[in-house]
Amino acid sequence: MSASGDLRSLAREHVAVAALTIPRLLRHPVWRKANPHEGAGLGVVLVPGFGASELSLTFASTWLRDRGYEPAGAGVGFNVGCTSELVDRVERRLEEHAEATGGPVVLLGQSRGGGLARLAAVRRPDLVCGLVMLGSPVLDPLGAHPHVLLAAKALARLSAIGVPGLMNAECLSGTCFEDNVASASAPLPSGMPAVSVYSKSDGIVPWRLCLDPSAECVEVHSTHTGMGLDPDVYLALRPRLARWAAERYDLRAAG
């Protein structure tokens, strides 16, 4: 199968998963029961997965906003560009959203987006009060399903012939890759709360690659592409996000 065929196959899987999962989410109490003051205005920057746009996190954004959080997209487009350049974008959005919301924010990333979020958190701990990674292969960024790696290599070939905005060969095996792998394996800053959500039913990312030693690792029963739509994920995130929001609110009140 070609790289374009791989991407189409993944897209079809996402549509099928959404058709099955969204009704369950919308009926679930974790979606229907919302305290609009819970988030206390805490900012959350959302980073989509590889080949996905910010639309893929629409339900997460809605869920957060209904509970008093202030979500914002990371501005990484379809997340198919150079890792270092994308982390720069996440950092800029961190700065903007922290200023807009009056203090450090939460970074929430899915799949590759979680890896970018972690890199940005290591770079700018002063702007981050919590990190959430959903199905993110932080222990091996290239350890996802072979179809995903084939698609990444196809993008690098397109970049080599001049197509802008795509990852290049350096992102897969060169200096860019080595530098970012080293940063990704670095411990998170002391005191930074982090959650890595994984599923043994994940057909894209081997679940063991999500077991970040610096994070609280939480198992759910979900597909890879369905994590942003799965009630179990929101059940796991709700108390943790609420705690981070309360801690930030207490700090602001004390200041």
Query: Using one digit for the tens of pLDDT, what is the confidence trace for 113-172?
Result: 999 999 999 999 999 999 999 999 999 988 888 888 888 888 888 988 988 889 888 888
Please, which residues have CB within 8 angstroms of residue 121's CB and are 6 or more apart in sequence?
107, 128, 131, 188, 189, 192, 194
Strand arrangement, sheet containing 194-198: 70-73, 43-47, 105-110, 128-134, 194-198, 216-219
Whole-angstrom distance, CA of residue 115 vs CA of residue 108: 10
- pTM (two decimals): 0.90
pLDDT, mean of residues 213-233: 95
Neighbour tally for 182: CB within 10 Å = 9
Q: Which two tokens stand for residue 222?
A: 């979900």
Domains and CATH numbers, the chain: 3-254 (3.40.50.1820)
3-state secondary structure of 148: helix
pLDDT of 239 > 90? The answer is yes
* Cβ-based neighbour number of residue 172 at 10 Å: 17
Average pLDDT, the chain: 90
Going by C-alpha positions, the residue among 150, 7, 182, 17 that lies closest to residue 78 is 7
Residue 232 predicted with pLDDT over 90: yes
- Distance separating alpha carbons of residues 118 and 108, to the nearest angstrom: 9
